[in-house]
Amino acid sequence: MAASAQERRTRILDVVREAGSIRVVELAERLGIPAVTVRRDVAALADDGRLERTHGSVALPGGGAGGRGGGQGRVIGMLVPTVGQYFDEVVAGASAAATAAGARVVLGIAPYGAGSDRAQVERLLESDVDGLLLTPNWTPGEGLVGSDWLGELPVPAVLTERRAAPASPAAGLDAVCSDHRHGVLLALRRLAGLGHEAVLLAARADTRTAHEVRAGYAAAVGHLGLAQLPVIDVPSPADSRSPGDDGDLAARIAEAARSGVRAVLVHNDQDAIQLPPLLRAHGLTVPEDMALISYDDVYASLSQPPLTAVAPPKRAVGSEALGLLLRRLATGDEMPVHQTELLPTLKIRKSCGGPVA
């Protein structure tokens, strides 16, 4: 029969009294209990004031395992859905901030659609991380997929480029996000200022960023008095894209141009950067015949012509999330929940026409 929580916690206290100070991993091995269960019990005992925790270790109160200020020696687990492109910069921002604080980041990757978020987080917890930066998978209509477990984490966590629904078990977690709706407003305001009365949106639909871009477009056209046009759906990599998909996108933009639309916002760089040569096949030159703005600004500057692009503050999101987590580790529940949105900027280049700063 499995031991009750009270029995486990009594055994934990007995071992800690004997050892003085002991690492959680070693404590789990000595008790023959899964490390994740021991961490939860240790967290409960610490909340009751019966144990003190430091980096990966526990001791009795006043037994020499006192807390640390700042981030010195902290190990932070970071879960992202992919490396490359967008999240490279988020990871770089978090890693640089950790290094400056004397901490370090260990990385876990749970690919889009793989359903491996929880398994990857368990692996990170096995590395005795002090806290977590989490970008769980997100799907349209469901939001954070299977997020109940996020409310049961044994260490503090900050959602990064994610927000939990108000009724979700994860709603009480700190969060740091880019305000993508504001980013879309910046793009459309620029195009409206150049005289465009209608702006086409071509966007994916598979990620939270894409969802926010679409919602931002609907809000921005109303705010700016622009024509509301149907969104062109851009296939995602998971949709088994065919070689002709980008050609189809160019053809649909050319069709809109024949109706008088001469500006387009494209999410994301990967699709936008392929459009100028494809549009030339339809007799359209960027920016003379079609003003083009990209969303993400990962590769936009490398296009020909260089693409004006909405640039979410990717590095700043990683840095802010890391700093927020360290503050949470230092203060615990004394600090109110922070849910922060950082504003994107618009990088003006040649592809939208008008003067280039």
Number of other CB atoms surrounding residue 226 within 10 Å = 19
Evaluate if pTM is beyond 0.85: no
Per-residue pLDDT at 66: 37
Please provide residue 113's backbone torsions phi and psi, each rounded to the nearest 5 degrees: 80, -5
Per-residue pLDDT at 146: 66
What's the angle, vertex CA 190, arms to CA 287 and CA 228, rounded to 5? 90
**Cβ–Cβ under 8 Å, residues 80 and 134:** no
Residue carrying the six token digits 């477990």:
149
Tens digit of each residue's pLDDT, the chain (357 residues): 567 888 888 888 888 887 777 888 888 888 888 888 998 898 888 887 788 876 677 887 755 433 344 577 899 999 999 887 899 999 999 999 998 888 999 999 988 777 889 999 999 999 889 999 999 988 777 777 667 889 889 999 999 999 888 888 888 899 999 999 999 999 999 999 999 999 999 999 888 999 999 999 999 999 999 999 999 999 876 555 555 567 899 999 999 999 999 999 999 999 999 999 999 999 999 999 999 999 999 999 999 999 999 999 999 999 999 999 999 998 887 889 999 999 999 999 999 998 876
**Cβ–Cβ under 8 Å, residues 55 and 76:** no
β-strand partners of 309: 294, 347
Helices (H), the chain: 5-19, 24-31, 35-47, 86-100, 117-126, 180-193, 208-224, 245-258, 269-272, 275-280, 314-331
Could you tell me which of 309, 325, 319 has the C-alpha nearest to residue 272? 309
Give the Å distances, CA to CA, from 320 to 159, 177, 316: 11, 9, 6
Helices 117-126 and 35-47: angle between axes, nearest 10 degrees = 70
Burial 275-306 (b: 16+ CB within 10 A, else e): bbebbeebebebbeebbbbbbbbbbbbebeeb
Go through the domains of the chain in sequence order and give each one's CATH number: 5-59 (1.10.10.10), 75-177+314-341 (3.40.50.2300), 180-312+346-352 (3.40.50.2300)
Give the Å distances, CA to CA, from 115 to 91, 146, 279: 21, 9, 38
Rounded CA-CA distance 288/308 in Å is 14
Rounded CA-CA distance 347/330 in Å is 37
For 83-166, list the strands marked E by DSSP.
104-109, 131-134, 138-139, 143-144, 157-160
Number of other CB atoms surrounding residue 332 within 10 Å = 11
Rounded CA-CA distance 319/277 in Å is 37
Rounded CA-CA distance 144/174 in Å is 15
